[in-house]
Amino acid sequence: MQIETPAALAGPYAHARTSIQRTMGLVMLALLPATLFGFWQFGWPAIFLFFATLSTAVLAEAACLRIAGKPQRPYLLDGSALLAGWILAVSLPPWAPWWIGAVGALLAIVVAKQVFGGLGQNLFNPAMVARVALLISFPLEMTNYVQPMPLFSADAPGFLQSVGISLGQPGFDAVSGATLLSHVRTELSQGLTLSEILPDMGYLFSGAVGTIAGSMGETSALLILLGGLFLLAKRVITWHTPVAMIGSLAILATLMNLYDPEHYAGALYHIVSGATLLVAFFIATDPVTSPVSKMGQIIFGAGCGVLVYVIRTWAGYPEGVAFAILLMNACTPMIDHYIRPRVYGRDRRGTPIEYADNAEMRK
Amino acid sequence: MKLFKIRGGVHPHDNKHLAAEQAIEDLPMPALLHIPLQQHIGAPAKPAVRRGQRVAKGDLLALSQGAISAPVHAPTSGRVMGVGSYPAHHASGLSVRTVTLMPDGEDRWSDEIQGVPDPFALSPEEISARVAAAGIVGMGGATFPSAVKLNLRTRYRLHTLVINGAECEPYLTCDDRLMREQADAVVDGIRIMAHALGVERIVIGIENNKPEAQAAMAVAASVDPRIRIARLPTRYPMGSEKHLVQALTGRETPARGLTADIGVVVHNGATAFAVHEALRFGRPLVSRVVTVSGAAISRPRNLRVPLGARVQDLLDYCGGFTEEPTELISGGPMMGQPLPSTRVPMVKGSNGVLALTAAEVARHEPMPCIRCATCVQACPCGLVPLDMAAHTRAGDLEGAVSLGLMDCIGCGSCAYVCPAHIPLVQFFNYAKGEMAARGRTKQKLTETKRLAEQRAARMEAIKQAKREAMAKRKREAAAQKATPASTKVSGVELPAAEQPAAAAEA
Ligand code: SF4
Ligand code: SF4
């Protein structure tokens, strides 16, 4: 998109030290702790998958820019493709074969972003589009989770074995493990109660620290939270979306838990498990696909929270974040159309404010 | 005192340290002064001097014209070299009527200059008449004739006079210095204005980045229990009149209205100083304090400048440039205007001359909007800048207007924070200008249409008269001959006879 600048140059003749590149860079920095922790937990296969995803994303972006005849430098350096790839990678099962990441990155960049017109134009979050498409197309690979086997630990796969895992060759005997969400769901469907499935609160601890099976960068709730707080402190995001999302999810979970504690897990369970925090701080806050007004963001976040709960609890998938995000993305244009900030000097309907004690003396 | 929150706003690097510690100095009298006859909003003043005429400092050079206008006075004694046209202090660089004055070096005040021993004994009408005669206009940059604002008391029930000492634009320190160095005079001017307005409350708003000015003004203001000093948080655009009033009273000025609608009048501190000079000493507005700053200026300063001095004179006195500036700005960096050249003269509303380097301006190639909403958070008016810009870009100016374009104060907060470096204000200026032009065209079209309709009606009347005349003739002819054939012939003839006439009319 070429930006013609109409009329004469105008101020301001000063600018805050901001750029798209800086924004994207800060988000990546915030993702770094959880990502590195994921590398350590899931070893070489995760690292391979990560780089396969990111490099495909950047190559796909470059190719699309070339076809569209856009300048490569500014758009590649803005970091948006890298970040989309990054977010997709951390939401994949860590031992998925490399091509899962590559196909996902292609879907994210080509289908979800460039087809819509490139940077800033996409309606749906690219990483979530890819995640959903992969889940539907490759359900096996996308639900094959492993227990953490820290890098260099005794039973972790070596470098060459890891190459084999990444290429999808059978051989290495991984301890496959269901994620907390799917484990609980399966057991519940077999008629067990929550107090039988989760006899103690240990799952909360492991979920917070991240020593559980799960996606590459989603396991450690604490590190994700750390990154999210960093983004808040740096004012890359505002509190409205994450607080609304976590809040609505927590309220719903608490209510249902009070209603039937044996079949509906409480708020903390939902917050530490799955991708809740990653989505709340990094994906629901994606500027391009979320509303621009504070009130709009609160509605958007609350909608995401409710949908996540509903999908996790009653729909066919143990984890509902990607669907929730896409559904709310679709609502964004409508939210932005109807929810606008109140204009200075006007009431909500747009008519100029009138005071009872108006000072004008009407003669 | 209790302050209220305003929405949005930004915290630009204020860069006031460059000039804040420089005491006000007098600019040495330049060899020539070019005094434009329009230094205010409203009708230009009408020349009252001839070429070759000798004038004393403070003599009238041009008369105020009409209800909203301001007279212009001689900034020093000397000889009028001519009344001609000269480039204006305006981005367009267009020429305006200008008196050129050659100073005689004596800087001798006119003998007629005389102050009032006790301004508080004057009636409000007399005060505002004197303020009008002194050519005082809003010196914060708005340049609206101050006397007109003092006269608002006749139409509104005013209760508060707010003095805008926020000086929220980065770099500018002229108000800061004036309040520090001339606090007593400024407070005196404020009290005179309050007397003229008949208000019971006076609030002086000064941002917290000017603690010395706050302290000096607090001491000076202790003479009058009605005056309160408001220590404003440092935030741009705190000095926007309507936002300042909101911060002080908690009330928003109704859209498209005046602060007077909620009983408040806002004047600038430098205007108060000018009122003091005019009432106590009878001195008209012939000079003002200007901040010359920016990283490209060798020695940033605050100068008391005779109106009509060229920008170049100021730059020379400040040691010229350290490097070629990217932008030469009149006013502050947020809302200032580019100067077309260094030849243009200083005017009543110019509070700053900034020579900015590329690093300071930090202009980048724009990228597409990523809808990050930073601009929405920054807008002090509750607008959605990204949408207004998108509509403008798509050519849908009505759409931009329905989103609040006309409520945009052009403060530049949105563009300042935009990570995509989209020149949002540029879009809005374009759209506002285009809408104004369309308004004029529409007016013209309506006028043309009215004229055309009038003309058509006239033509129709003529035709009608002709047709009737023709019919009459025919009836007469028929009556004379009374043959059936002739009716038929005349039936064919009728349109043929009318056509050339119609063509001639068209
Ligand atoms: S700040 Fe710039 S990039 Fe962000 S939403 Fe506004 S216009 Fe778009
Ligand atoms: S320039 Fe207009 S749209 Fe931008 S922040 Fe200021 S008032 Fe809002």
Mean pLDDT, chain B, whole residue set? 89
Could you give the CA distance from residue B173 to residue B269 in angstroms, rounded to a whole number?
Answer: 12
Q: What residue owns the CA closest to ligand 1's atom 6? A: B375
Average pLDDT in the B294-306 region?
94
What separation in Å is there between the alpha carbon of A20 and the centre of ligand 1?
A: 10
Give me the total of CB pairs closer than 8 Å, taking one residue from chain A and one from chain B. Answer: 196
| Structure-model confidence comparison of residues A72 and B330, the more confident one | B330
| Nearest chain B CA: its distance from A339 CA (Å) | 11
Q: Which atom of ligand 1 is nearest to the CA of B420?
A: 3
Return the exposure string of A114-141: e unless at least 16 CB atoms fall within 10 Å of the residue's CB, then b: beeebbbbbebbbbbbbbbbbbeebeeb
What separation in Å is there between the alpha carbon of B390 and the centre of ligand 1?
A: 10
**B31 CB within 6 A, ligand 1:** no
| Nearest chain B CA: its distance from A11 CA (Å) | 6
Interface check for B416 against chain A (CB to CB < 8 A): the answer is: yes
Strand partners, B161: B202, B265
| Nearest chain B CA: its distance from A191 CA (Å) | 46
- Positions in chain A whose pLDDT score sits under 50: 1-3, 363
Q: Which atom of ligand 1 is nearest to the CA of B424?
A: 7
What is the predicted pLDDT for the residue at B485? 47
- Percent residues over pLDDT 90 in chain B: 71
Q: Do A359 and B418 touch (CB under 8 A)?
A: no
Q: What residue owns the CA closest to ligand 2's atom 4? A: B414
Q: Which atom of ligand 2 is nearest to the CA of B375?
A: 5
**B353 CB within 6 A, ligand 2:** no
Alpha helices in B137-260 (DSSP H): 146-150, 174-181, 183-197, 211-221, 241-249
Q: pLDDT (tens digit, 9 = 90+) per residue, B231-252?
A: 999 999 999 999 999 999 999 9
Ligand nearest to the CA of B427: 2
**B423 CB within 6 A, ligand 2:** no
In angstroms, what CA-CA distances link B364 with B306, B329, B360, B389? Answer: 37, 18, 12, 18
**B9 CB within 6 A, ligand 2:** no
Both tokens assigned to A44: 């070489």
Contact residues, A window 170-209, toward B, CB-based 8 Å cutoff: none
What is the predicted pLDDT for the residue at A3? 39
Query: Which residue out of B374, B401, B403, B424 would a mutagenesis test of the A interface target, given it has the greatest number of A Cβ atoms within 10 Å?
Result: B374
What is the predicted pLDDT for the residue at B465? 84
Could you give the CA distance from residue B226 to residue B58 in angstroms, rounded to a whole number?
Answer: 33
pLDDT higher than 50, residue B501: no
Going from N- to C-terminal start, the domains of chain B cover 16-29+131-302, 364-478+496-506
* Residue A77 CB contacts under 8 Å (≥ 6 apart), including other chains: A21
* Residue B325 CB contacts under 8 Å (≥ 6 apart), including other chains: B294, B296, B355, B356, B357
pTM, rounded to two decimals: 0.86
Q: pLDDT (tens digit, 9 = 90+) per residue, B103-154?
A: 999 999 999 888 898 999 999 999 999 999 999 999 987 889 999 999 998 8
What is the predicted pLDDT for the residue at B486? 42
Find out whether B3 and B233 touch, Cβ atoms under 8 Å: yes
pLDDT higher than 60, residue B495: no
Tell me which chain B residue has its CA closest to the CA of residue A7. Answer: B430
Task: Name every chain B residue with its beta carbon within 8 A of the beta carbon of A288.
Answer: 370-371
Could you give the CA distance from residue A185 to residue B268 in angstroms, rounded to a whole number?
Answer: 69
CA angle B64–B70–B73, rounded 5-degree value: 85
CA angle B44–B266–B388, rounded 5-degree value: 80
Q: pLDDT (tens digit, 9 = 90+) per residue, B74-104?
A: 999 999 999 999 998 888 888 899 999 999 9
Task: Name every chain B residue with its beta carbon within 8 A of the beta carbon of A352.
Answer: 254-257
Which sign does the torsion angle of CA B185, B187, B188, B194 carry?
positive
Q: Which of B7, B261, B415 sits opposite A358 (nearest CB)?
A: B261
Average pLDDT in the B471-499 region?
57
Find out whether B4 and B247 touch, Cβ atoms under 8 Å: yes
Find out whether A238 and A268 touch, Cβ atoms under 8 Å: no
Q: What residue owns the CA closest to ligand 1's atom 7? A: B386
Q: What is the maximum span of chain B, computed from C-alpha positions, in angstroms?
A: 111
Average pLDDT in the B220-228 region?
93
Tell me which chain B residue has its CA closest to the CA of residue A332. Answer: B371
**Alpha carbon distance, N-terminus to C-terminus of chain B:** 74
Could you give the CA distance from residue A321 to residue A328 in angstroms, rounded to a whole number?
Answer: 11
What is the predicted pLDDT for the residue at B488? 42
What separation in Å is there between the alpha carbon of A326 and the centre of ligand 1?
A: 22
Q: Which atom of ligand 1 is nearest to the CA of B376?
A: 6
Could you give the CA distance from residue B382 to residue A295 in angstroms, rounded to a whole number?
Answer: 12
| Range list of β-strands (E), chain A | none
Q: What count of other Cβ atoms lies within 10 Å of the Cβ of residue A253?
A: 23
Q: Which of A3, A9, A353 sits opposite B366 (nearest CB)?
A: A3
Give the architecture-level CATH label for domain B16-29+131-302.
Answer: 3-Layer(aba) Sandwich (3.40)
Highest-scoring range by mean pLDDT, A182-191, B278-287, B471-480: B278-287
**B344 CB within 6 A, ligand 2:** no
Task: Name every chain A residue with its beta carbon within 8 A of the beta carbon of B159.
Answer: 359
- B191, with CB counted inside 10 A (0-12, 13-18, 19+), is buried
| Nearest chain A CA: its distance from B157 CA (Å) | 5
Q: What residue owns the CA closest to ligand 1's atom 8? A: B369
Q: What count of other Cβ atoms lies within 10 Å of the Cβ of residue B111?
A: 8
Contact residues, B window 30-49, toward A, CB-based 8 Å cutoff: none
What is the predicted pLDDT for the residue at B194? 95
3-state secondary structure A211-236: CCCCCCCCCCHHHHHHHHHHHHHCCC
Find out whether A244 and A300 touch, Cβ atoms under 8 Å: yes
Q: What count of other Cβ atoms lies within 10 Å of the Cβ of residue B52?
A: 9
Q: Are strands B54-55 and B33-36 parallel, antiparallel or unpaired?
A: unpaired
Q: Do B425 and A344 touch (CB under 8 A)?
A: no
Could you give the CA distance from residue A126 to residue A131 in angstroms, rounded to a whole number?
Answer: 9
What separation in Å is there between the alpha carbon of A25 and the centre of ligand 1?
A: 17
Q: What residue owns the CA closest to ligand 1's atom 2? A: B418
Ligand nearest to the CA of B386: 1
pLDDT higher than 70, residue B483: no
Class for domain B364-478+496-506, per CATH?
mainly alpha
Q: What count of other Cβ atoms lies within 10 Å of the Cβ of residue B234?
A: 17
Interface check for B426 against chain A (CB to CB < 8 A): the answer is: yes
